[in-house]
Structures are given as structure tokens and as C-alpha cells.
Structure 1
Amino acid sequence: MTGKVELRNQRVSDAKRFFEILNNPNFKYFKVRPKDVKSERKFLIKNKEKRKNNFEYNYAILYNKKLIGGCGIKIDQHRKFIGEIGYFLDEAYWGRRITTRAVKILEKIGFKKLNLKRIEILMHPKNVASEKVAIKCGYKKEGKMNL
């Protein structure tokens, strides 16, 4: 896989693109679905406050400078040394190891900048693609969510 994967802070101007990506009917296991672009803008505005309060750090995934997804680290508020990674990617870019590369960048941010000691990835038990990303990044399965 060639091409440059980068992360940058999410912007309110990303709302339309995120809305398009997140409302893909093939996103069976991603629970966040904005009802309209305005709702997504509000969500992105709230993300700035979450970052300021050390609750969540959300990023846009860029591939060759093009916005193709999002990812982030949510800080466990009871155990601030633990972060949970989440991610989503435009279907046109699935299967190219882009998410795997984004997770590796997130890990560096989590361990080096946020001083986390542990990073987890929670996913729907049937989300095979997300599980593959976790395995490629060296994560170990510790349990299964009952839904």
C-alpha cells in the first residue's frame, strides 16, 4: 500500500464529509450516525471542549491529503492512564491498511503525548474488519462484548 496517511485535529468544516462517510449503509457496526450535517457540526464543536477537558482527542484521517475518515482516543475518566481508540473510514479506502497506519499514529500520540499506559480497542463482536486492524496492530483479545 502506498500513499501517505496523516492525522490532524478534526475541524467543524469536516462536518459534511464525515456526514457522508458515517451515513454509509454498509457501516453496520458503527454506532454514531449524524442525522444531518448541522448535527455533525455540533458534534465537532463539542469535540473541541472534550479535548480541552482531557476527555477525548479526535482526529481526521487524511490519505494523500484527502479527508477519508476519523479516529480518536477517549480517556477513561476513572483511570486516566487508559485510552480507548475508535476509528471509521470511507468504504472506498477499506482494505488498504490505512486504518492500521492511523492506529499506529494514535498509539504514538497516546503513549508519548498523553502519557497513557494502556490503550484498548472496543468493537462490535461481528466487526471482523475492526478486529483485523486490532490484531495487525498487536492487540490481544481479552473478552467479548455481549450485545
Structure 2
Amino acid sequence: MKQLPTFETERLILRDVEEKDLNAMFDYLSDREVVKHMGLAPAVFLEDVRNELDWYTSIKEEGTGMRWGITLKNTDQMIGSCGFLNRAPKHHRAEIGFELSRNHWGRGIASEAIHAVLSYGFQKLGLERVEALIETENLASQNMVERNGFQREGLLRHYEYTLGNFDDLLMYSLLRSEWKHR
């Protein structure tokens, strides 16, 4: 299977996620605070994390998405991930998703990673629109995407069914022309 391109930013390396990352992924995916807005229960077993890694592989193989592991430059340990899902090439759009270890919240790391992924999406994948669907209670992610130029479009009521609940999601979007002018 084809490897994703690797990106280097000021502080980060974004790279393909590999089997060697399972333990690092477990560290943050087992944290209730990290996963509470992801529609996932906290990982209890390494097999739970393997399912997430298998999903990364399947969306890449199907062409519906791609997920990069976020690592700090001075270490190869994965501290989160960022990428596209629900990609619709015919319509030149995709959804962006991300999560980050709680130890690295509030440092601008997610914004730095998203900027690299958005650049790839708009420049190399030919995206016209990138969407972010965010739970109404997830104020930190709402603020972060707004700081990165996304516009709130509206509320999607009972849009997803996860962990036994119907979740309301806010729809945000960023258009290529808006990204170019940032």
C-alpha cells in the first residue's frame, strides 16, 4: 500500500501511522478526556487501538480518507493524529478530523498539524471545501477551527449515533479561496 507523504512543520513531523505506534496511540486513546468528543469509548485493550489503526488503513485503501500521525520533531512518538475522512473527490470536498494527547493541549500543535494537512488537501488533492463536524460541547475544537479560518454553517441535529446517544454536531467549512487569503 502506498505511503502517505511526510510533512515537516516548525515543531512537528506528520507521517504515516504504523504498527509501532500502537502503544503511543493507546496512551492518548485510553484518556476519557481525549476521546469524549470523538464518538469512541476510551481504549481499554491494545486491540481497541488496533481497530483505530485498521480504520486508518481502510480509509486510505478505499480512497475515502487519510490519517497522519502527529509527532514532535525531537521524538518519533505519536502524540495524536490528523487527516481527512469522508472524502468525496467528485465534489472536491473532505472532512478534517484530529485528536491530540492531553499533555499537548493548548500549545498550538493541533493548529500547526491542521495547517499542513489543509495545505496538502487544497494544493495536492484539489479540494475546494474542507468540513469539520464538531460536537456542540467541544468548545476547544470549535475555537481552534475558527482561529484557522473555518466558518460555522449550522447545527446538524442528531447527526450521529455514537455510544448509545444521538449527537448534535456543528458544521464548519473552509473554502479554498478563504484558505488562500489567510
Q: Does 1:104 align with 2:115?
A: yes
Deviation at 1:80, TM superposition (A): 4.3
Query: What is the alpha-carbon distance in structure 2 between the residues aligned to residue 39 and residue 112 of structure 1?
Result: 34
Which ranges in structure 1 are unaligned for 5 or more consecutive residues? none
Greater radius of gyration (CA):
2
Which ranges in structure 2 are unaligned for 5 or more consecutive residues? 1-9, 158-167, 169-182
Q: Does 1:59 align with 2:42?
A: no
Residue 38 (structure 1) aligned to one of 27, 30, 47: 47
- Structure that is richer in strand per residue: 2
RCO higher in 1 or 2 (8 Å CA, sep ≥ 6)?
Answer: 1
With the length of structure 1 as denominator, give the TM-score of the two structures: 0.87
Q: What is the CA deviation profile of residues 6-39 of structure 1, one whole-angstrom value per residue up to 9, with x for unaligned ones?
A: 2111112212211220121223212134442123
Aligned residues of 1:16 and 1:37 also touching (Cα < 8 A): yes
Query: What is the alpha-carbon distance in structure 2 between the residues aligned to residue 48 and residue 29 of structure 1?
Result: 22
Residue 136 (structure 2) aligned to one of 113, 125, 136: 125
Aligned residues of 1:124 and 1:145 also touching (Cα < 8 A): no
What is the root-mean-square deviation of aligned Cα atoms in Å? 1.9
With the length of structure 2 as denominator, give the TM-score of the two structures: 0.72
Q: How does 1:1-147 map to 2 (within 5 A)?
A: 4-27=11-34, 28-33=36-41, 34-64=43-73, 65=75, 66-77=77-88, 79-146=90-157, 147=168
* Residue identity in the other structure for 1:119: V
Aligned residues of 1:54 and 1:75 also touching (Cα < 8 A): no
Aligned residues of 2:97 and 2:132 also touching (Cα < 8 A): yes
Q: After the TM superposition, which of the residue ranges 88-97 and 63-72 deviates more from structure 2?
A: 63-72
- Identical counterparts, % of pairs: 25
